[in-house]
A and B are shown apart, each in its own frame.
Chain A
Amino acid sequence: MVGYLIRRVIQAVIVIVGVIIICFILFHIYPGGSRAEARAVLGQRATGAAITNFLQVEGLSKPLWQQFFLLIAHAFSGNLGYSFKQGQPVWTIISERLPRTVILVGLSVIFAVLVAIPLGIFQVLRRNKPADYALTGLSFVGYATPTFFLGIVLIQLLAITWHLFPAEAPQQSGLLAILGDWKALVLPVVTLATVTIAGFSRYMRSSMMEALTEDYVRTARAKGAANRRVIFVHALRNALIPIVTLLGLSLPAIVSGAVITENVFNYPGMGLLFVTSASNNDFPLIIATTLVAGVATVIGSLLADILYAVLDPRIRYVSK
């Protein structure tokens, strides 16, 4: 177990270094090289001297390998440079934006799990009956609906027509202020959670079905345990374990969804920051947001795997 955890952490560190390499590549694939990149940042009328000066100041005139090791050193020390456009340290901007995205993703994952698990169990209880088919159909539609389309429909119905919730996500900063504006958080969280609920509930259903074929369930039934007891006491705990892995696996997709959701609801988190800096050619911010999102996702998946290893005593991680 300990050996497994150590190997898993080492693997996560390797992946993080890989993420840094990809960010570095992204930074240097600008067609026409760094001078064209500088021109994109400074504007078409920038003079040659201004561009050379810009490259000097930003360290872009150094040899590539030096820039690469600088980026690695900077990434691990948390110094991510200055935004080209906003004139602030990248880290200052990100540290203001990151908590908002963490709140959004965290709440919607919790919400999704709380809805999807009972939904999946309900479908097993009613399996192959109309309610089960209806929910399966619904989960297909939920999975197929583009996040932004769902967001727009919800805004149109619940915010504009019925005035139940605001159309815009909380604009305050600070954990308490954002959570205090909970009504404004409802629509973004529901929007982001829907795809996850669709996938998880369907998975929960099959996972539960699988657990019900196990020998210990047959034993429980043979002892005369009632159907509900078998499901909730014997099968549920085992059926829940794969959900934890699924959570780690779907984290990148959920973060991608958060980028869209933040844009739909004008929620100033990492996703909105990323999309605006991508359209502004603000390369340090683009790289930093990609890096932070990648690293956060790796850490999230690592935590899910550790939780999985802790939860399932049957798993023996044998070294090769």
Chain B
Amino acid sequence: MSRIDDEQLAGATSPDANGDGSFFPEPRAADSAADSGAAQVPGGQLTPSGGEASGVGSLGRLVWGVFSENKLALVGVGVALFMILFSFLGPFFYHTNQTSVIVSAQNYYTPPSAAHLLGTDPNGYDELGRIMVAGRTTLEICLIAAALATAFGVIYGAISGFLGGVIDAVMMRVVDVMLSIPSLFLLIVIAAIYGTTFWLLVAIVALVAWLAPARLIRGETLTLRTREYVQAVRSMGGKNWRIIWRHIVPNAIGTVIVNATFQIADAVGVLAALGYLGYFLPGAGSWGQMLYNGITYIEAPVSGWWLVYPVGICIILVVVAFNFIGDALRDSFEVRLQRR
């Protein structure tokens, strides 16, 4: 829940109350953290939460359990792994020259053929090889940006929620303000002023990505800090930092992981948009930038479809895959919360 204060709206069904920042919130998750009495099942009935007799088990086993049951999640993991292997290991099996090619009649803007499986672009580069190289850059930027943004957001949110009072109010107003400016405006101003290198793009993508985890962890912290075990640590003289780091963050880890997965998916979209608006990296660049370069040729007399559709499909596959994984993880952590 963002615009209205969480406390004011307690009880209202709020799109983001389940705390993952995804655009696909499931309202049935809204109450799961608060009351563990009953699990609401999409079928429409209430089922008592008993869980399996085997007990809670380790986090990893639980996640594995969910993934082995959930076909969509398996598809998501499969596609994501495939795209990662394709981008990082692909060039070792499919050798192409992506740095210095002399343009000739054989490689100037040719449709797919046996020699070039996805054709070539007007600079003579093999398109399939270029998708792999650009995919590696794209995935690296997005994974690093999602990790950094999540780490920063977790620390920021935990501090804000734990300290409370005026500091919390100020820290959260900063998040409110940044969330209310359409993110693309901020990103483009920074990109236009500072230019775009690999690490600048990481920073730019992370610049707005930390807001959602910060808000979620702050919400979790507000509920967690009143728990008995936190009060116990405090009564034993535990320092604030220790409470946050050893007791609050680990208990909010489910929310964090779910959100990080969605952050990766969103980062791919943001990076593609920046590439499309002309904020480029040198060399093969990113998928968005390949799309931007290909678009000019789609309306040409000989439509260069191979310069547009394969890259576009790669972007969609990665985003869908990480959304599937995020959804499945959310289900698994919800189960954990409900069993507690």
Q: Which of B42, B44, B182, B312 contacts A294 (CB 8 A)?
A: B182
How far apart are B109's CB and chain A's nearest CB, in angstroms? 17
> CB distance A31 to B194 under 8 Å?
yes
Does A265 have its Cβ within 8 Å of any Cβ on chain B? no
Q: Which of A30, A146, A209, A290 contacts B181 (CB 8 A)?
A: A290
Digitize B281-315: 1 where CB-to-A-CB distance is under 8 Å, 0 elsewhere.
00000001001000100110001000010001001
B316, closest chain A residue (CB): A144
CB distance from B21 to the nearest CB of A (A): 10
Q: Are A199 and B192 in contact (CB under 8 A)?
A: no
Contact of A249 among B15, B28, B178, B320 (CB under 8 A): B15
Cα of A243 to Cα of B118 in the assembled complex, Å: 43
Residue A190 CB within 8 A of the other chain: no
Q: Beyond A144-B323, A301-B180, is A203–B24 a contact (Cβ under 8 Å)?
A: yes
Complex alpha-carbon distance, A260 and B46, angstroms: 44
Partner of B27, one of A4, A199, A206, A293: A206
B28 and A209 within 8 A (CB): yes
- A103: CB under 8 A from chain B? no
B152 to chain A, nearest CB (A): 18
B235 proximal to A (CB < 8 A): no
A248 to chain B, nearest CB (A): 6
Q: How many residues of B contact A (CB 8 A)?
A: 66
Contact present for B189 and A297 (CB under 8 Å)? no
**A115 on the interface (CB 8 Å rule)?**
no
- Give the chain A neighbours of B308 by CB distance below 8 A: 149, 152
Nearest A residue to B317, CB-CB: A144
- A8 interface hit (Cβ, 8 Å): yes
Across the interface, which residues of A come within 8 angstroms of B295, CB to CB? 152
Per the bound structure, the CA–CA distance linking A298 and B321 in Å amounts to: 32
Give chain B interface residues in 258-272, CB to chain A under 8 Å. 265, 269, 272
Of the stretches A82-90, A169-177, A250-258, the one at the interface is: A250-258
Q: CB-CB < 8 A to A129: which residues of B?
A: none
Contact A144:B319 (CB < 8 A) given known A252-B182, A256-B183, A259-B184: yes
Q: Is the CB of A279 within 8 A of B23?
A: no
Evaluate contact between A203 and B25: CB separation under 8 angstroms.
yes
Contacts of B15 in A (CB 8 A): 203, 242, 245-246, 249
* Interchain CB contact under 8 A, B182 and A253: yes
Shortest B27–chain A CB gap in Å is 4
Nearest A residue (CB) for B179: A252
Given contacts A14-B173, A143-B323, A148-B291, contact A248 B3 (CB under 8 A): yes
Segment from A15-23, A41-49, A56-64 that makes contact with B: A15-23
Assess the B176–A15 pair: CB atoms within 8 A: yes
- Type the 1/0 row for B164-207, where 1 means its CB is closer than 8 Å to any CB of A: 00000000011011111111111011111110000000000000
Q: In the complex, are the beta carbons of B182 and A259 less than 8 A apart?
A: yes
Tell me if B299 and A249 are in contact (CB < 8 A).
Answer: no
Would A250 and B23 count as touching, CB distance under 8 A?
Answer: yes
- Residues in chain B near residue A4, CB distance under 8 A: 8
Q: Which residue of B lies closest to A40 (CB)?
A: B193
- Report the bound CA distance from A208 to B182 in whole Å: 29
Interface pick from A66-74, A180-188, A312-320: A312-320
Chain B residues near A275: list those with CB within 8 A: 188, 277
- Does A127 make an interface contact (CB < 8 A)? yes
Query: In the bound complex, do residue B324 and residue A15 qualify as a contact, i.e. CB atoms below 8 Å apart?
Result: no
Interface flag for B236 (CB, 8 Å): no
A212 at the interface (CB under 8 A from B): yes
Closest to B276 in A: A148
| Contact partners of B278 in chain A: CB under 8 A | 279
CB distance from B187 to the nearest CB of A (A): 9
Kindly state the separation between the CA atoms of A304 and B265 in the bound complex, as whole angstroms: 27
Give chain A residues whose Cβ lies under 8 Å from the Cβ of B323.
140, 143-144
Q: Does A26 sit within 8 A of B, measured CB to CB?
A: yes
Interface: B240 (CB within 8 A): no
How many Å lie between the Cα of A29 and that of B188 in the bound state?
A: 14
Chain B: minimal CB distance from A266 (Å): 13
Chain B, 240-251, contact with A by CB distance < 8 Å: what is the 0/1 string? 000000000000
- Asked whether A108 is an interface residue with its Cβ less than 8 Å from the other chain, the reply is no
Tell me which of B26, B174, B185, B272 contacts A146 (CB under 8 A): B272
8 inter-chain pairs at a CB distance below 8 angstroms, sorted by A residue, are: A206-B26, A209-B44, A253-B183, A256-B182, A278-B189, A294-B180, A314-B12, A320-B7
Chain A residues within CB distance 8 Å of chain B: 4, 8, 11, 14-15, 18-19, 21-22, 26, 29-31, 127-128, 140-141, 143-149, 152-153, 156, 160, 199, 202-203, 206-207, 209-210, 212-213, 241-242, 245-246, 248-250, 252-253, 255-256, 259-260, 263, 274-275, 278-279, 281, 286, 289-290, 293-294, 297-298, 301-302, 304-305, 312, 314-315, 317-318, 320
New contact pairs (5) apart from A146-B272, A253-B182, A259-B185, CB-CB < 8 Å: A22-B181, A141-B320, A143-B23, A210-B28, A263-B277
Give me the interface of B with A, judged by CB distance under 8 Å: 1-4, 7-9, 11-16, 23-28, 40, 42-46, 173-174, 176-186, 188-194, 265, 269, 272-273, 276-278, 288, 291, 295, 298-299, 303, 308, 312, 315-316, 319-320, 323-324
Nearest 8 pairs between A and B by C-beta?
A18-B177, A144-B319, A256-B184, A255-B182, A278-B192, A294-B181, A256-B182, A210-B27
